[in-house]
Amino acid sequence: MRVKILGSAAGGGFPQWNCSCPNCFSIRKGHFSGTARTQTQLVFSCDLDNWALVNASPDLRLQIEASPELWPSNGRRSPIAGVIVTSAEVDQILGLLLLREFHSFQIHATTAIRRILTEDNSLFGVLKRFAGQVHWHDIPIDRAFTTGGTRVEAVPLVDSFPGYVSKTRAAAFDPEESNIGLLLSPESGGGKLAFLPGCGSVPEALIERLESCDVLLFDGTFWSNGEPMHIPGLGRTALQIGHIPISGAGGSLERLATLTRARKIFIHINNTNPMLDEESPEYRTVRDSGWEVAYDGMEIDL
């Protein structure tokens, strides 16, 4: 099974259109030791012919064009067979609207996410322009399911629903269905990959679940808890917006230090994160701790 990281940045990408933080400023000026990144997006396949997306980022069109394995053939036959959606956040679902051009595919999402998208947002009507355009499948959060030869387990990461969902509506849904991580492994045997791009805490039960994983793609949004406090308009800590910071007491470097089996990779990296600069002490700390930093185009075989 091959997993390809099409995008590795947090919402907004790197650089972000309205940001001139030191990272965004430097990369635009051409004197930055690191690469630009599109918004977090994975794709995986067992047969290298039919591919499933994990989420659908706003950058999806560019990400497909940068990936020859996702190019169409025989007229309009796209190798994209399905999408697994892990939350209803705009960064994860906007790309679904880009897949509206008369192509049939599957979408796997929790019941809550499916209902928010299809019942509350009329724009998603573009995905039912003809019978059979999109087949929705509800993801069970308490047992595995399979798609395209891949076994998928949801990891509920209890979170809040996106801000565009009214409080009344959100209260009607199970909070366990608001944001899920995924464990992916080939049905025929092979390694297991964990994808947890938005994780607000790391309880012991989660660490135990990750101990059997061979690859961990984990929330690398913010370096420090105070980092988003400096983002105009946000004014909250990393933990307050559902992202455990990398550094500091209780940060992910410390909390996940006992995981020794998995290859550990930070993904969903915000443009303000100093570890994007490969000459920074933060990047050196991450690498010296045995972690990697995901980049667009990175491939992982399981």
Of the listed pieces 185-193, 220-228, 265-273, 286-294, which binds Zn ion according to CB under 5 A? 265-273
| Residue 214 in tokens | 């061979």
Q: Tell me the C-alpha distance between 76 and 217, whole Å.
A: 32
Closer of 20 and 201 to Zn ion (Cβ): 20
Residue 276 touching Zn ion (CB under 5 A): no
The first and second tokens of residue 280, run together, are: 């920074």
Q: Phi and psi at residue 71, in whole multiples of 5°? A: -75, 145
Q: Say which residue the tokens 């019978």 belong to.
A: 131
> Closest CB to Zn ion among 138 and 278?
278
Q: Report the alpha-carbon angle 137-141-147, nearest 5.
A: 45
Is 231 one of the binding residues for Zn ion (CB under 5 A)? Answer: no
Q: Is the distance from CB of 41 to CB of 60 less than 8 angstroms?
A: yes
Nearer to Zn ion, 11 or 186 (CB): 11
Q: Across the strands, what pairs with 136?
A: 107
- With CB under 5 A as the contact rule, the residue among 1, 3, 24, 60 that binds Zn ion is 24
Q: Minimum distance from CB of 24 to Zn ion (Å)? A: 3
Say whether residue 19 binds Zn ion (CB under 5 A): yes
Point out which span in 40-48, 70-78, 240-248, 268-276 binds Zn ion (CB under 5 A): 268-276
Based on the shown chain and the rule CB under 5 A, indicate whether residue 39 belongs to the binding site for Zn ion.
no
Beta bridge partners of 45: 2
Q: Taking contact as CB under 5 A, which single stretch among the options 57-65, 66-74, 117-125, 267-275 is the one that binds Zn ion?
A: 267-275
- Of 21, 154, 196, 256, the residue at the interface with Zn ion (CB under 5 A) is 21
- Identified binder of Zn ion from the candidate list 107, 271, 282, 300, rule CB under 5 A: 271
